[in-house]
Amino acid sequence: MNAAILAIFSLSCFFVSYLFYSKFLAKKIFKLDSDIVTPAHEFKDGIDYVPTNKYVLFGHHFTSIAGAAPIVGPAIAVIWGWLPALLWVVFGTIFLGAVHDFGCLVISAKNKGHSIGDLTGKVIGKRARALFLTIIFFLTWIVIAVFAYIIATLFTQFPTTVLPVNIQIIIAVTIGIIIYKSRFGILIPSIVALVVLYVFIYLGMYVPISLPAFVGSQVESWVVLLFVYAFIASVLPVWLLLQPRDFINSQQLLVGLGIMYLGLFIVHPPMVAPAINLEVEGGLPWFPFLFITIACGAISGFHGLVGSGTTSKQLNSLKDARMIGFGSMLGEGSLGLMSVIASTAGFATLAAWESHYSSWSAAGSMDAKMGAFVNGGAYFLKEGLMLPDGFGATLIAVIVISFAATTLDTSTRIQRYITSELGEIYNIKILANRYVAAAIAAFTPLILIFGGEGLSWKRLWPIFGATNQMLAGLSLLVLTVYLYRKGRNILFTLIPLIFLIIMTSTAMILSLKDYIKSGNWVLSVLSMLLLAFSAWIILEAITVVRNLKKEDKSKTNTSGKLKPGIFYKR
């Protein structure tokens, strides 16, 4: 099968879904109304609530959700064959991920910018809110640790990326000051910034930087510095670093993805990997683990946290939510699609692919996951666009690190919000202080990185994938109950909800058996807690729906006309 034909088919599906399906959801299901005053205007404070140009906000949201996960997941899932991975990325993105992201952004923007966890209390109940926020806290805790580990590993593996990635921070702060202090337009400064960044990517090839191992290994030293950076980034105003860096990164990713796809179309290589390869040595069963391994490339609970945690507080008009929520997820699906193709058609021969994916353990390391994408993408750039090997590999590695860094920034800020909300619930006033909350968010993940068995990638990723997908299912549950209360069609969120809850619960139960068998009590206890919390929230939701049905039946009996449940005016 020709890889270019598969790419054209998949990208066409994304395009058609945006033209028609997103418009249907916007008009009939979520009912966008540009007259509604968004939280960015209602609570404007110049720090978190900032009305933002939709293209700039698209850049922030897109890069915040498009971290390393949509690359890592597909790059390992192709071990079961490229066909199941590609189908899940394409149709999961359209019918699950984009609906989830769009919906979370809209209901947050319609309800004062509250996070999806906070909205659980209003849609389902106070107990459910506390449980949901606890699950979110655990997920974000894991996300911060995972992405710090990814960045630290890549800095060590590709020292040529250290200079351009860190120069990007200086460029972003400069752009932020220029735009928000002088009110200069965003386009020209961002283009100049992108050109400067590419110059430093080229220079980075000749100036590799390695960090002295002042805390254990070099990776561990990078982790500590990254947590310090995350703390600082999470308390700065969003306009100073987060927004401009994310906008530059969005351009970088669009350009990077564009030239990778261009190289792919020129080379149009065959998919050398098998279409279906369900028997994997030492591997997990493809069902249900395919749907957990590819998380962010199809649907991700973390996206709902970004949409309702930071993006909804910057939305200038509710009409912008369609492009930002639905459109950004299609962009992430395109990244996941490239990961599938680069990790299969990026190999010269079937023998080379089989050597790389000879067993689950061989393909499961961080180096193998990232190497398949970076080297495959570099192959397209070299053969299609005649770019040098070193430049292509450094360019792609910088893209991966940059997006992992924006996810680290955003997740730390979100964790700061969640910590404060938990402080409100349990009346712990000190947590309202943003510096205290930020310190808890940025530094407690050190427990996961250094605690117990020590630094371990494989110890973090499985629980991250399962928790991430379970949170997406619970977010869809909140959306479904919300739509039911509003008297709207719930099938477009209910069907994805049922599918995802079954997949994630089954995968987590199977994983729990392995954790207990191997004596990994940290992950065993965490898995049991998450399963129990999720079941509790679902029971709470069922109770709410039953009560609503009774209320509606009572209204029908007294007035002869059924009235939908009432939620917010919006």
State how far the Cα of 461 lies from the Cα of 85, in Å rounded to an integer. Answer: 18
The reported pLDDT for the residue numbered 40 is 92
* Cα 173 to Cα 151: distance, rounded to the nearest angstrom: 20
What would the mean pLDDT of 349-377 be, rounded to a whole number? 77
Residue length, the chain? 570
**Distances from the Cα of 479 to the Cαs of 30, 101, 358, 483, 485, in angstroms?**
10, 11, 42, 6, 10
Q: What is the mean pLDDT of the chain?
A: 85
Q: Which residue is it, tokens 């020292």?
A: 159
Q: Is the model's pLDDT at 283 over the cut of 80?
A: no
365 confidence band (pLDDT: 50, 70, 90): low
**pLDDT average, residue stretch 455-472:** 71
In the chain, the number of structural domains is 1
What is the reported pLDDT for 555? 65
Residue 227 has pLDDT above 90, yes or no: yes
Structure confidence at residue 512 as a pLDDT band (50, 70, 90): confident
Assess whether pLDDT exceeds 80 at residue 230.
yes
Could you give the 3-state DSSP secondary structure of residue 270? strand
Radius of gyration of the chain (CA): 23
How far apart, in whole angstroms, are the C-alpha atoms of residue 493 and residue 483?
Answer: 9
In a domain, 127, yes or no: yes
Residue 456: per-residue pLDDT: 52
- In eight-state DSSP terms, residue 214 is S
Measured between alpha carbons, how far is 263 from 278 in angstroms, rounded to an integer? 30
Count of Cβ atoms closer than 10 Å to residue 317 Cβ: 18
Mean pLDDT score, 5-12: 96
pLDDT at 58 over 70: yes
pLDDT at 569: 43
Q: Which pLDDT tens digit goes with each residue over 82-123?
A: 999 999 999 999 999 999 999 999 999 999 888 888 888 888
Contacts of 543 (CB under 8 A, 6+ apart): none
Range of the domain at 498: 3-559
- Using a pLDDT cut of 70, give the percent of the chain over it: 92
Inter-residue long-range contacts of 541-550, CB under 8 Å, 24+ positions, other chains counted: 541/124, 541/128, 541/477, 541/481, 544/123, 544/124, 544/125, 544/481, 545/481, 545/484, 548/484, 548/485
In a domain? residue 177: yes
Alpha-carbon torsion (452, 453, 454, 457), positive or negative: negative
Would you say 207 and 163 are in contact if contact means Cβ atoms under 8 Å apart? yes
Instruction: Indicate the pLDDT class of residue 565, thresholds 50, 70 and 90.
Output: very low
Query: Is 565 within a domain?
Result: no
The whole-number average pLDDT for the span 209-237 is 87
Q: Please report which confidence band the pLDDT of residue 72 belongs to, taking 50, 70 and 90 as the band edges.
A: confident
3-state secondary structure of 80: helix
CA distance 307 to 107: 10
Helix, coil or strand: residue 520: coil
Q: Report how far Cα 246 is from the mean position of its chain's Cα atoms.
A: 14
What is the CB neighbour count within 10 angstroms for residue 115?
25
Cβ contact 480:497 at 8 Å: yes
- Residue 294 · residue 86 · CB < 8 Å: no
Strands in 32-134 per DSSP E: none
DSSP state of 564: P
Tell me if 61 is assigned to some domain. yes
Residue 174: inside a domain: yes
Percent with pLDDT over 90 in the chain: 32
Q: What is the DSSP letter of 205?
A: T
CA contacts within 13 A on the Cβ side of 204: 29
In this prediction, residue 194 carries a pLDDT of 85
pLDDT band at 480 (very low <50, low <70, confident <90, very high): very high
* pLDDT higher at 227 or 466: 227
Contacts of 277 (CB under 8 A, 6+ apart): 79, 80, 81
**What is the rounded end-to-end Cα distance, in angstroms, of the chain?**
49
pLDDT at 67 exceeding the cut of 90? no
Q: What angle do CA 284, 285, 290 make, to 5 degrees?
A: 90
Task: Show the tokens assigned to 455.
Answer: 């630094």
pLDDT at 561: 45
112 vs 459, which has greater pLDDT? 112
Do the domain assignments include residue 14?
yes
pLDDT band at 568 (very low <50, low <70, confident <90, very high): very low
Residue 467: per-residue pLDDT: 81
49 falls within a domain: yes
Higher confidence at residue 128 or residue 442? Answer: 442
Which residue reads 């990164």 in tokens? 249
Residue 176 is assigned to a structural domain of this protein:
yes
As a three-state string, the secondary structure of 303-343 is: HHHHHHHCHHHCECCHHHHHHHHHHHHHHHHHHHHHHHHHC
Contact present, 486 and 565 (Cβ < 8 Å): yes
Give the chain's count of helices (H) and strands (E). Answer: 26, 0
User: How many Å apart are CA 322 and CA 19, to the nearest integer?
Assistant: 11
Residue 210, class by beta-carbon neighbours within 10 Å (0-12 exposed, 13-18 middle, 19+ buried)? exposed
